[in-house]
Structures are given as C-alpha cells and as structure tokens.
Structure 1
Amino acid sequence: MASSRDIPSSGRGIGDIASSFASSFRAASPLAQEIVARDIAECSEDEDVDDTSNFLESDAESVDGGHGPTLYRQPAGIEVAFGYRRPSLLLEPAEEPTRPVVTRAEKKQSRDAERSLLRDNHILPPKHGVEEQPGLLTKVYKRLFSTKVRKTPDDEEVPRIAINPSETAPLLPGRSADGSGQEEENLNEQWEAAVASGKIQTTWQREAQTIGKYSRSLIVTFLLQYSINIASVFAVGHIGKIELGAVSLAAMTANITCYAPFQGLATSLDTLCSQAYGSGHKHLVGVYVQRMIYFLGSLMIPVALLWVFAADILARLVPEPESAELAGLYLKIIIIGIPGFVALECGKRFVNSQGLFHATTYVLLIAAPFNAFISWLFVWHFGWGFVGAPVAVAVTQNLMPVLLFLYVVFVDGSQCWNGFSKKAFTNWGPMVKLALPGMIMVVAEWLAFEVLTLASSQFGTSYLAAQSILMTLTSTTFQLPFPISIAASTRIANLIGAKLSSAAKTSAKVAVCSAALVAVFNVIILSSLRYELPKLLTTDEEVIEFVAQIMPLVAVMQIFDSMACMAHGLLRGIGKQHFGGYANLLTYYLVALPISFGVGFGLDWKLEGLWSGVTLGLFLVAAVEYWYIYKSDWEESVREAEHRNASG
C-alpha cells in the first residue's frame, strides 16, 4: 500500500546508473550545478588538476568509442535503501544528477543486451545455428519461451552500414583485424540503423525475463532490509499487547520526528555526490558527505531532547498511559542509534554515487541476521524484556555504518575520500535549500499513514496492537510488488531513452501482469492464513481476533496496493513521476484520510474504518494513474528523453 514507514531501516531500494541514455528521462539540476561549481572554484589548483586528470583517464576508458544509448541500467531503488517501509507517495529527489555513473561491467551488459536484441529481431545472425527440422518439444519450448520476434514475410533486413576501408581495416571480409566478427566491429552503426528504421521490437518473453532478472535480487534485499524492522515486533510481540502497541507508537514517533526528515534532507546527496563524481572532482564527494553529516549531527540535539520527554508528550495524545510510557522508554534508548543512522544515510550515498550499489546489500547480508539474533538474545535469552528490543535496534544502527566503512576501506570506494576538510563547514545554505523539497516530500509521505497508528491508539491497547500487526504484515507483502515496479521503471526508462516506445509499451504490459499475479498471491496468503499469521507476532487472543476480522479487507486492499505500486513505476519509467506525486498527495490527504477518520470515528467502525479509507484511496490512485498512463503520448516521452539526454 502506499503506507507509512517503520523504524530505522525498512526497505526499498538501488541506484540510478547507466550511460547517457540512462539519464535520458532525468532533469538537470541547476542548483546542484551551482553548488558544485562554487566548491570547485574554492578548490586549490593542484586539487583541480589531479582530479580532472584522473577523471579524464578513467572516462576515456569508459566512453568506449562514444557509444550512445545503452540497454542496460542498474535498477533504480537501492539508493533509498535503509529507512523506507512502504511508499504512500511517490518520492522524488528534489534534484537529479545530470551525469550517471557507468561501470565497465554495465557497459558490457549494455552491449550484450543490444546485440541480443539485434539477433532476436533477425538483424544479426543467431548466436547458435538453427536446426533445420526441430522436434516437437523444441517447437513448444520456442513458442513459449523464445525471445525472438516472429518474422513475417514482409520483414526486410536492416541495411548494413558501409564502412570505408582504412589502413587498419581487416583484409578478409566479415572479419576485423583482431579476429572478431564485423558485426562486433559495427555494432553501434547496426544498432542506430535498426532503431532509425523502426526494426527493433521485443517480446513478452524477453521483457518477463529482464524484469525478473532485475527484481529478484531487489526482492531479497528489501526483505532483508525490512527484517531489521520487524525483528523488534517479533521480539516483543509475545511479551504482551501493551508492549506490541508501544513499539508501533515509538516507531511512528521516531519516523515523523527524525527518520523521515533526516532521510529527506539526505536526498540532496543523491544529486550533489553524483554530479561531483561525474564532473571528475571526486574529492568533493567526501566533502559533501561530511557536510551533510555535520548538518544532520547538529539536528540530533533537538531530536534527542524531544525523545527524552517523549513519554510525557505521548501521554497527552494516547489514552493508554502505559503504552505511552513504554514508547517513551523505547525512544530514550534508541537515541544512541541516531549517529549511526545519520552516518549510514550519508555513507550509502557516498558509495552509490560511485556506482557501488551492492555495498549496501553486502552490509545487509551481515546486519539483518545479526539484528534478528541480538533481538532474541537481549529480549529473551538475557531476560531484558521490552528494553532489549530498542537496544538491539541501536546496536544494529551503529553497526551498519561501520560495516559500510570497512567495505570502503578494504573493498572499493576510498578513491573519493581525501580526508577531513574544513570546506565541510562552509556553503551549508545552498545545500539546505536543495535538500528542503526532498524533506517535505518524505515527511508528507510518512505522515499520511503514521497518523493512522496514532488514531488506532484512541480505540484501546488491543486495537493499537492489532494495527501494529496489520502494518507489519502489509508492509512485508509490499516488498514483492515494489521491487518489481522498480525493475519495470528501469526497463521502461531504458527503452524510452533508446527511442523504442513500442518495446516500452510491451514491457509495461508485462509489468502490469506481473503486478496482478503478485496481488493474487498476496490475497491468497493473507486471506487463507488470517488466523495463523497474527500468531507469529502475538499470543493475545483478542488481538488475533481483531486482526483476523480485518484481514479480508486488507487482503482485498492488496490488489489495489500492488497495482498502484506498479502504476508509480510506469510513471517513473516514462518520466511523468510528478503526476504520481501530486495524485497521491491529493488522494490520500483529501480522500483517503478523511474517509478513514469519518467512518472509523464517526460511524464507529474503528480499524475497519481506518483501513476502508486506505483501500479506497489506493483504488483511486491506481485508477487515476493508469488512466493517465493510457492517455499519455509515449512518443512525447521519447522526445523529452532525447532532449534531456542532449542537454545533459
């Protein structure tokens, strides 16, 4: 659903990288360019020369003959890992980098993707020989799974590009000087000719394989990320319903007062670090990260003071004093985890700007199991009870930036660190100006659904505990459609950037069908296990009964949740994400939340009322966005992408 978020590190995730085409649907960032230019001007001449020479050397290796549009790009999403649970609104960084990072492996994958498409469209000869008389099983297999475009008698071969011979030209036709085929030598020309003549098509089999390949690792990553959140719920849920509700109340407070605004402010690094790295001034990446750490560090003081007195504040907002007291205790303890959270938010953008998107995944592979273990260890084995849950959270929050630091030192990423710099204490004003829009969007996103947790507390402890379980379950199921939507948006953006609007539409249809299948799966799981699933989180019979009663409605909501999530992805892919952001804001704040409060309190439907408004909101969002996507001119998106690519 488009819902709220959870404690420290819930999930989404990956990063925007590729060649010029990868950035074809992204706008330039004048403010960020101004900030980078100002910092470059303040650099010493030696720093400038060293950085530029290093950049030109590495860039010369990566240009690869001036190769233009590519058909491979790392799926976008990991850059927002650690901290997101369920996007209720369509998050957009305030500014976007103008030059994405391309690694050598990605260039090779891009070339391979182009070559494969040319073969599937019968423009290049097949990789393997074709059987003259294939058997029945071979025919069935090809019919179901072959990615080749069906060739009609009217198809004409794309004319090969004639290359004028030179002194280094191969002597034998069809072979290049280094022994590779002429198709390899003229791949760029063949690709451009095929695109210009409209001969590049795709099949649903190819798009299903591509989206599946993109999303499979993301699903694992996001589930690992979210496991850090639900570990606290699992750990304290069996203590009692008061403790379970207190965890949810503490999570809501932490999200609204710290995690959401801090993450929103840190989104400016997505732009600044990428532009600094892309311009060749790698040392500025480290400077920007230091600057944001110091800025967020200064904000930690008022947040810590607020959390110290959180129990007294919450006692005035919720009717259950014991829940407010435990939530306040939880917040007091996790104060010690805020520095780690800040360091991680900035550190992950440090590595992402360099194209090291798997660094955060490696951190999760260690941190997620460790967090689950210490949650059990502190809460149950050591007998600390409720106190053990926030201690485990704080330990994990401080561990993850340490693991990321070790990755940078011993694996990769240290080339952008030139030590601590006094420049990190200057030019805060422009950075904050760049960061504020992102913060506003993130806070609005989290607030839209965290407020439902506060509303559920008005119905009593059992309802608050049930709300905590429902949010945990629906946030977990959301980790399936959201990665697929990220993969779909990446693939569609690639095809749009390569001027293949017809292929992009085919990919979009496959993505929508994938979302529908995931929705059916989630509906079956939640509806058939509506009594068994809450038992994983609590032993209180009253809470289990409340959850089971509302679960059919929540199961139906999965259909609209999954479809709305995919609509967000399609909008990102065609470069119309602004419409999705505004549609979500208006729908949730003007329709969903008023209905939730109206039927929840006015008609005394309690939790059923709160979730009814959310379900209706998701339906409206999905309907409006799919209508907009259907009416959109995809050729216009291609032209806009081409214009941005040229200007960038």
Structure 2
Amino acid sequence: MAGDDMEKGGLEPLKMQKLGYRSWEESKKMWSIAGPAILTSVLQFSIGFVTAAFVGRLGHVQLAAVSVVQTVVESFAYGILLGMGSALETLCGQAVGAGQMHMLGIYLQRSWIITGVTALVLTPIYVFTSHILKLFRQSNEISEVAGRYCIWVIPQLFAYALNFPMQKFFQSQSRVWVMAIISGAVLAFHILLNWALVTKLGYGLGGAALAGNISWWLVNLAQLVYLVAGYFPDAWTGFSLSVFQSLSAFIKLSLASAAMLCLELWYFSAVILLVGGLKNHTAIAIDAVSICMNLEVWALTIALGFNVAVSVRVSNELGAGHPKAAKFSVAVTAAASALVGVLFMAAVLIAKSDFPKLFTEKPEVIRETSKLGLLLAATILLNSIQPVLQGVAVGAGWQFSVAFVNIGCYYFIGLPLGGLLGFKFKLGVVGIWSGMLAGTLMQTVVLLWIMYRTNWEKEALQAEERIKTWGGPSESQEAS
C-alpha cells in the first residue's frame, strides 16, 4: 500500500510536468500566430481610429457623423464582407492540416468572387446612408454629414472585399508577420496623410475620407505583391477557371459565416441607433458611446488576434485528425486572452476620467463618456473571452449554429432589455449599454456550454468530410 502511495505521489508531479510542457509548447504555437495577428488587427483598426481622432478636432457633429458611419454603416458592410471571407478560414485551415495545399489558391479566388459581388450589392447602402439614418430617426444634421462622408469612402468597401480573403489565406498558413509589417508601414503613412489633408491643407471630412481610401488600397497592393511573388509555390499557382466550379457549396458556408459574424457586429451598430433615438443631447450621447465603442473595438482587435490563433490551431488540428490537440489549444488560448482582458479592464477603470480626452476637448462629452467607464471595462473583459469562442466556432465549422445563438442572446435579450432600460426606465445611455452587456454575457455562457459538451473526435471526422463536401469535386479528385 505504501509503495502504491509512493508511486501515485511520483506520478502526480510527472503529470503536472507533462501538462506544463504541453502548455508551453501550445503557447508558443499560439503566440506565433496571435502576436502578429494582434499587431495586424490593432494597426488596421487604428486606420479608422486615427481618422476619428483627426475628425474629432473638426467639431462634435463631424465626429458623431464619422462615428455613426464607422460603427453602423461600415460595421454593417465590414461584418458581411469579413463573414463571407471567413468561410475561407474554416476551409483553408482544415485543408492545411490535411496537407492539401493545392486547394488554397482555388478557395482564395472563389472567395474574391463572392466578396466582390457582395461589395457591389452593398454599394447602394453607402449611397443612400443619409436617408437610411433619417428613417431610423437619427439627427438630420448628423445624417446629412454622415451621408456625404459615406459616399466618399465607397472605395474602402471594395478594399475590404479584396483584403479579407487574402488575410484568411495568409493566416491559415501562419504567414502573419508580413501583414503586420505592411499594416504598420501603412498606418504611419496614414497619420502623415491625415495631418497633411485634414489639418495642414484644411480639406476636412473629404481629406479624411481620401486618406482612408488611399491607405486601405496600399494595404491591398502590398499584400497582392506578396501573394504573387512566389512565396506560396504549392498554395498559389495563378488564376484558374476552375474557381467557377462548385461555387454553390462555397457560397453556403460563406453565408453561414457572414450570418454569424454580422449578427455580432450589427449588435453594436444597433446600440448606436438606439442611442441616436434618445431625445435629449443626442450628439453628446452618440459621441460618448462612439468614443467608448472605439476603445472597446480597439481592445476587441487584440482579442481578435487570439480569435485568429485559435481558429487556425483548431482548424489545422481537426484537419490533421488530432482532436485532443484542438481541445487543448482552446483551453490555452482562452486563458491567455482572458488574462489580457483583465489587464485592459483594469487600465480602463484607472483612466476612466482621462481616456475621453484622446477624442474630444468638449467637457460635456468627457463627462458623459466617463460615466460609461465601469460598463466599458466589463464589456472589454467579456469581449476578451467571447472572440476566442467565436474563433473555435469558425475553426470547427459551427457558423450556422452560432448564428442562432447570437440571434437569441443579442436580439431577443440584449437589445430589448437595453431599449427597456434606456427608454422606459429613462436610464439613457447607461441603460442601453447595460442591456447590450447582458446579451453579451448570455452569449458567452451559452458558447462556453457548447464547448464543454463538444465531442472533439466527432469534429475531426466532420472536418475530413467537410474538406470533400465544401471543397467541391474538382479538388477532391486532385487530392486523390
């Protein structure tokens, strides 16, 4: 008996040592993707952040108008295009894990066709933005300015359509550092361009729009050069007419991906629209929420780096038939992202009276924004965990199921509760944001429960089948 106890006692440290080694190895793999992905995400988001900061000096109406465009109109289009491109994340990641590299270039070109057509369909929304905002009872002055600005930034819509599929293509192969370098160089140029056009030459909103258009297309141009320069000999073999085969199957997964992500992003847009319906101090209220949204989205871009990492790791491991490795990667990534979320939450709570000054000098806007500090901190913490869960869903191909979770939690709980608290109980912006936070909390709990109940062995088998089904007959035949 004593010998058995000693043997058990010896096994426990050995298990812990093995677990520590596995965690360290997985962390290295995760951070090799998450680090540059976080940097890329932050740098590309900062293009809009810099635009808002320069426009904020033009006046509170201009800031409110650009914020509405960024958080409502562009988020609407951004969500659809990014979602349509996210089908590539599932298929490319699992194809890489299965060693079927020849599929990736075909997938990329199919995704370009889908996102390009989608951008064309979305263009009228940009053209008629002012009329649409007025239908939602937004301020006439803000709607008019937002409508003009939105027409000027239509080129960015098509830049997104080209950019997102390329990002997924690079990420699935863990080629993320080049994207970070490109984004950093373009952001530096974007700051200089805004200073020259908006501040020095005094071109105002038109100058800000032009700077954004130029910067986003520079990102695309640099990434295209990298794509065709010979760094992907197995994955990119040039343009092919075979991309038009089996498009219907690809479109189905693209639509499911878009539905999942759009329901997420439109949730935040709907909050801005609710705030715009408040009768008193609308411009101030929109400015306050928009500043918080900018910071929240900035923090979210960091969490999206973990989203990319876990999506790539899960899709690669499931495609390779390693379900236990996929499950372990989820645990390691979620823990790392949550820790970063706690640090950001603490930073917001400490600086809740100071961070609004980054965007505005208006005392009334600073006061209104500071009141939302506690809710912003809680939202940032939740949104450090939730994107990881969404990344698992994309990596495993659960987009359709998660779309229904988002509908229930956001649109049947979060928004109605926010409207009730904000309008019926007259809590204003605080009430609307509290409802949004409740919906996000519910969605996070449901997704955690789904992860807990997942049969990862079954998911690995489904990944193998998905490569054949969604890839289409032409690729399957090539692989064989």
Q: Same fold (TM over 0.5)?
A: yes
For 1:268 and 1:422, the matched residues in 2 are separated by 20
Contact conserved, 1:287 with 1:423, CA < 8 A, in 2?
Answer: no
Residue 203 of structure 1 corresponds to which residue in structure 2? Answer: 20
1:476 to 1:288, Cα distance in 2 relative to 1, 3 A: closer
1:199 to 1:321, Cα distance in 2 relative to 1, 3 A: closer
Residue 349 of structure 2 corresponds to which residue in structure 1? Answer: 527
1:616 and 2:438 equivalent? yes
Instruction: Tell me how far 1:532 sits from its aligned partner.
Output: 1.0
SS at match of 1:202: helix
Q: In the alignment, which of 125, 135, 139 is matched to residue 320 of structure 1?
A: 139
1:561 and 2:383 equivalent? yes
Instruction: Tell me how far 1:232 sits from its aligned partner.
Output: 1.3
SS at match of 1:390: helix
Q: Over the residues paired in the alignment, what is the CA RMSD in angstroms? A: 4.0
Aligned length in residues = 450
1:423 to 1:227, Cα distance in 2 relative to 1, 3 A: same
Residue 358 of structure 2 corresponds to which residue in structure 1? Answer: 536
- Once the two structures are superposed, the pairs formed by residues 122-161 of structure 1 within 5 Å of their partners are 153=10
The aligned amino acid for 2:216 is Q
For 2:337 and 2:101, the matched residues in 1 are separated by 38
Q: In the alignment, which of 383, 388, 392 is matched to residue 211 of structure 2?
A: 392
1:470 and 2:289 equivalent? no
Cα distance per residue 1:236-284 (max 9 Å; x no partner): 1122211111012122443365333333334455577786993747874
Residue 223 of structure 1 corresponds to which residue in structure 2? Answer: 42
For 1:431 and 1:491, the matched residues in 2 are separated by 22
Instruction: Tell me how far 1:333 sits from its aligned partner.
Output: 0.7
Instruction: Tell me how far 1:311 sits from its aligned partner.
Output: 2.3
For 1:282 and 1:514, the matched residues in 2 are separated by 30
For 1:483 and 1:494, the matched residues in 2 are separated by 16
1:429 to 1:508, Cα distance in 2 relative to 1, 3 A: closer
Residue 375 of structure 1 corresponds to which residue in structure 2? Answer: 194
For 2:115 and 2:392, the matched residues in 1 are separated by 34
Report which of the two has the higher share of helix.
Answer: 2
Contact conserved, 1:248 with 1:453, CA < 8 A, in 2?
Answer: no
Q: In the alignment, which of 343, 351, 367 is matched to residue 162 of structure 2?
A: 343
1:401 and 2:236 equivalent? no
SS at match of 1:404: helix
1:373 to 1:318, Cα distance in 2 relative to 1, 3 A: farther
For 2:122 and 2:173, the matched residues in 1 are separated by 31
Instruction: Tell me how far 1:387 sits from its aligned partner.
Output: 2.1
Residue 447 of structure 1 corresponds to which residue in structure 2? Answer: 266
The aligned amino acid for 2:81 is F
Cα distance per residue 1:323-348 (max 9 Å; x no partner): 11110111111123333333323444
1:600 and 2:422 equivalent? yes
Cα distance per residue 1:395-425 (max 9 Å; x no partner): 1222222112222344524773545x66777
Contact conserved, 2:89 with 2:312, CA < 8 A, in 1?
Answer: no
Instruction: Tell me how far 1:619 sits from its aligned partner.
Output: 2.4
For 1:346 and 1:494, the matched residues in 2 are separated by 18
The aligned amino acid for 1:514 is A
TM-score, scaled to structure 2: 0.79
1:378 to 1:270, Cα distance in 2 relative to 1, 3 A: same
For 1:338 and 1:154, the matched residues in 2 are separated by 58
- Once the two structures are superposed, the pairs formed by residues 8-87 of structure 1 within 5 Å of their partners are none
Contact conserved, 2:33 with 2:309, CA < 8 A, in 1?
Answer: yes
Residue 552 of structure 1 corresponds to which residue in structure 2? Answer: 374
Instruction: Tell me how far 1:541 sits from its aligned partner.
Output: 0.9
The aligned amino acid for 1:202 is L
Instruction: Tell me how far 1:153 sits from its aligned partner.
Output: 4.4
Instruction: Tell me how far 1:224 sits from its aligned partner.
Output: 1.1
Cα distance per residue 1:479-528 (max 9 Å; x no partner): 33443355456667777877684x87776665554344323312221111
The aligned amino acid for 2:271 is L
1:398 to 1:531, Cα distance in 2 relative to 1, 3 A: same
SS at match of 1:227: helix
Contact conserved, 2:71 with 2:290, CA < 8 A, in 1?
Answer: no
Instruction: Tell me how far 1:203 sits from its aligned partner.
Output: 1.4
1:241 to 1:422, Cα distance in 2 relative to 1, 3 A: same
Residue 409 of structure 2 corresponds to which residue in structure 1? Answer: 587
Contact conserved, 1:563 with 1:622, CA < 8 A, in 2?
Answer: yes
Residue 479 of structure 1 corresponds to which residue in structure 2? Answer: 301
The aligned amino acid for 2:150 is L
The aligned amino acid for 2:37 is L
Residue 138 of structure 1 corresponds to which residue in structure 2? Answer: none
Cα distance per residue 1:437-491 (max 9 Å; x no partner): 3333333232222111112122311111111101001111223344335545666
For 1:567 and 1:438, the matched residues in 2 are separated by 14
For 2:245 and 2:113, the matched residues in 1 are separated by 8
Q: In the alignment, which of 438, 451, 464 is matched to residue 257 of structure 2?
A: 438
Contact conserved, 1:530 with 1:548, CA < 8 A, in 2?
Answer: yes
Contact conserved, 1:318 with 1:458, CA < 8 A, in 2?
Answer: yes
Q: Sequence identity, in percent?
A: 23
SS at match of 2:184: helix
For 1:619 and 1:643, the matched residues in 2 are separated by 29
For 2:459 and 2:27, the matched residues in 1 are separated by 26
SS at match of 1:372: helix
Contact conserved, 2:419 with 2:431, CA < 8 A, in 1?
Answer: yes
For 1:577 and 1:425, the matched residues in 2 are separated by 23
1:440 to 1:615, Cα distance in 2 relative to 1, 3 A: closer
SS at match of 1:558: helix
For 2:59 and 2:205, the matched residues in 1 are separated by 10
1:452 to 1:511, Cα distance in 2 relative to 1, 3 A: same
